[in-house]
Structure 1
């Protein structure tokens, strides 16, 4: 077993280790070695980058695929490195929770933390609580379908889009014909659009229809729902200008530009694939 290295940001890492073993007077020797192993395996990736990101969220299924697509966008600059917490090595500890080791060490080592949220269940809530308490100033959150804590009117285009998605994905009465259901939803959307326009929101029927179709072909799911605790955390980050809602994958990829750090590579915006095509 290799001994502990002295990381580049050693003071921050020592703070993390102190928290990991806090209150445990005689930790098992195996737990100590597991913490050292994790440091030696995972932290060098951050130390070799000019800008590093820890990515939090849901790590399985479609949620995980979207989370990793977002991480790949952050990795575009060659001098940037992002690590998805759920993709790091497993630990075999006897007493120390694996979660404590990973989140404390990576959270301290990363320059910035990005949380991508799409639902209220699972481990996202404990992670969100930890980063709010320990790393709030370097954390940016990206909640899907979030429009605010107590929004009860149509004030923005985002409000209208979320309301339209709620209408489109609302539960249906299966005793009614498909045609009847479609007609009712069309009427509700038309009423929603009229109300929004009366409130001064600049959005057209075509724009609203296009957004619904885009959502249907991209993430064919009802609007995300969050607990009051989640919404309170999002509201806090929103007040700090560190919260960026999204509804489709294109929007989530664009949100990567909101993270501090090196600029995206020049070729990404200037590359002309036509130059390499046969005439």
Structure 2
């Protein structure tokens, strides 16, 4: 019987596994199964002349189609390997939480992470929490559907402020007092951007309109704003816009003949 192959960066891989499992002990067979899986499933990440992109998002229809659109778009670039966790084979470690191992392994080894978010539910929302609260944050980018700018550097006129107010108003998981406080903070940021608007004006506009915007939770809007402050938030509405935003992600460019 041939000896299972071990990747050259086995130490880095096992460090990511320990992080995923919070230093839970694993037996030698499990360790070898994980290393063999990594050698078999993730060889392109070991090629240092390639830029590796982990693409996160919902695997449910119709969302998965747009996740794959982002992955396919990135793979058109020179020297780029983009992948989604769902396309990787199972590791076959029934005692351990397999998805946690896969997530931390791929996130640790990838050069960049792109998270496509369209809804306030599903696995991609849990992944957002993972990338915003871990060491992976520095290489992560979010692409939330329908997110409205909330920071002064991106507020251009009153329409932007109204859109941000509608987003605050429709957020789930926040009470009336919190929303009023956030509207006041939005007005302050708008003022810093040279836009004259009041909380009363925003409140009256919201009462007179029934804005249709994606409803995200209060926690996730705060995560989006964090990425916005870091210039790593790429909102979109249509699939064409999603692909345009994907082209703005860092890394090698697409071939000139495709642009």
Calculate the TM-score normalised by the size of structure 2. Answer: 0.71
The aligned residue for residue 47 of structure 1 is 46
Tell me how large the CA RMSD over aligned residues is. 2.9
Gap change, CA 1:149 and 1:24, over 3 Å in 2: same
TM-fit CA distance, 1:98: 1.2
- Pair 1:68–1:159, CA change in 2 (3 A): farther
Aligned-partner Cα distance in 2 for 1:254–1:56 = 18
In 1: Cα distance, 2:249 partner to 2:156 partner: 28
Aligned position for 1:228? 218
Q: Quick check: 1:162–1:223 contact (8 Å CA) kept in 2?
A: no
Runs of 4 or more above 6 Å deviation: 159-164
Shift in Å, 1:140:
0.5
Instruction: Report whether the alignment pairs 1:238 with 2:228.
Output: yes
Equivalences for residues 103-182 of structure 1 within 5 A: 103-132=103-132, 133-148=134-149, 155=157
5+ residue gaps, structure 2, are: 167-194, 197-211
1:160 is displaced (CA, Å) by 6.7
Are the equivalent residues in 2 in contact too, given 1:148–1:231 (CA < 8 A)? no
- The gaps in structure 1 that reach 5 residues or longer are 165-198, 201-221, 270-279
Describe the superposition over 1:7-28 as per-residue Cα deviations: whole angstroms up to 9, x where unpaired. 3xx6643431331343323x24
> What's 2:203 paired with?
none
Contact kept, 8 Å, 2:45 with 2:81, in 1: the verdict is: yes
What is the CA–CA distance in structure 2 between the aligned matches of 1:159 and 1:37, rounded to whole Å?
52
Establish whether residue 75 from structure 1 lines up as the match of residue 65 from structure 2. no
Distance, in Å, in 1 between the alignment partners of 2:151 and 2:228 is 13
TM score, norm. by length of structure 1:
0.67
Question: Partners in 2 of 1:257 and 1:150 — Cα distance?
Answer: 23
Query: Do the aligned residues in 2 keep the contact of 1:30 with 1:93 (CA within 8 Å)?
Result: no
Which of structures 1 and 2 has the bigger CA Rg? 1
SS at match of 2:62: helix
2:42 aligned counterpart, secondary structure: helix
**Post-superposition CA distance 1:194-228 (Å, at most 9, x none):** xxxxx89xxxxxxxxxxxxxxxxxxxxx6422111
Q: How far, CA to CA, are the matches of 1:99 and 1:118 in structure 2?
A: 21
Q: Does 1:6 align with 2:24?
A: no
Q: CA deviation at 1:105?
A: 0.9
Shift of the alpha carbon at 1:159?
Answer: 6.3
Equivalent pairs counted in the alignment come to 211
What are the superposed Cα offsets for residues 71-90 of structure 1, whole Å, 9 maximum, x if unpaired? 11111123111011222112
Distance 1:157 1:265, change over 3 A: farther
